[in-house]
Amino acid sequence: MTKPRIVSFLPAATEMVFALGAGDQLVGISHECDFPPSVKGKPVVVRPALDLQSMTLREIDVAVAEQIRSGASLYTVDEDLLCELKPDLILTQNLCQVCAPSGHEITRALNALASKPQILWFTPHCLEDIFDNLRELGRVTGRLNEAEEWIASAHARLNKTSDLVRHEPRPRVFCLEWTDPCYCSGHWVPEMVEMAGGMDALGRKGTDSVRLAWADIAAWSPEVLIVSPCGFGTNKAVELTNQLLQQPGWSELPAVRHKRVFAVNANAYFARPGPRVVEGVELLAHLIHPKLCRWNEAGDAFRPVQCSNRRKIRA
């Protein structure tokens, strides 16, 4: 079987390619593809249409909503470079317009190509869907055995974590996917919380995250608060937690009183439906049940944060 030349518009798919040992076949990536480190230097085919770096979270929320409402694209595809790369396979998604090119961006890009590549659309709503995406990628790249081996190992790790916490009390958890405005978690993340031995009644399992009023979050009274802003790492999550300090009832939340507020690397372990969601479950289990579940992975995966007397976040 001829090895297909792969272009990935999706960071999670890029991580899958490397998990299957096909990194040498990846000829083009998105600007957000930053893992594993060996991906650096690959040609960047996709970039954002908006300058998000200079915006606050609220400004990003408004700008993205306006862009979608107007029918404008959130991404630009370098069609000339795409033609040069001559991909046999393009990996993208049809789940979230914010996460990667979809719909008309893909159609336009395909029109620029002389030879039409195969398209894999990744649209996962739960962990098993993520594994099915990996399996399909393995099938079309001739690496199905590698995919099945990886999935079996992932299931074993997840089962081990679930078994550790199975008979423990389940604390109230809230995963905050965006801080201004506040969004709950959705799709696979509430399932991750369940596997890790917590319960998040505000999360939307298997469907889109939505805006929540702070009053609803305070009423849930989380015992563990996970600040997990989509697309950001731990340092930014710590910074964004500062926006929560003036919320009514902040200091009375059990998670705040018992110092169980954690900023996490959402970009690595939660927002991307890729291989590292397994580590994400293990990380949540450690944060929810630290005496039972150890964390031996990256040191920058999370940081406990708390309020000082001056109402500033300390990490």
Residue 97 has a pLDDT of 47
Residue 297 has a pLDDT of 86
User: What is the rounded radius of gyration, in angstroms, for the C-alpha atoms of the chain?
Assistant: 20
Q: What is the pLDDT of residues 31-57, one digit of tens each?
A: 999 999 999 999 999 887 766 667 777
Q: Where are the domains of the chain?
A: 6-148, 169-314
Q: What is the pLDDT of residues 90-106, one digit of tens each?
A: 998 775 444 445 555 66
Residue with tokens 């049940």: 289
Residue with tokens 């593809």: 33
Is the pTM here over 0.85, yes or no? yes
Handedness of CA 235, 52, 34, 276 (dihedral sign): positive
Fold of 6-148: Rossmann fold (3.40.50)
Q: Which of 25-29, 120-124, 311-315 has the lowest mean pLDDT?
A: 311-315
Query: Exposure of 64 by Cβ count < 10 A (0-12 exposed, 13-18 middle, 19+ buried)?
Result: middle
Residue 62 has a pLDDT of 78
Separation between Cα atoms, residue 110 and residue 309, nearest integer Å: 57
Name the average pLDDT for the chain: 89
Fold of 169-314: Rossmann fold (3.40.50)
Residue 96 has a pLDDT of 47
Q: What is the pLDDT of residues 208-261, one digit of tens each?
A: 999 999 999 999 999 999 999 998 999 999 998 887 988 999 999 999 999 999
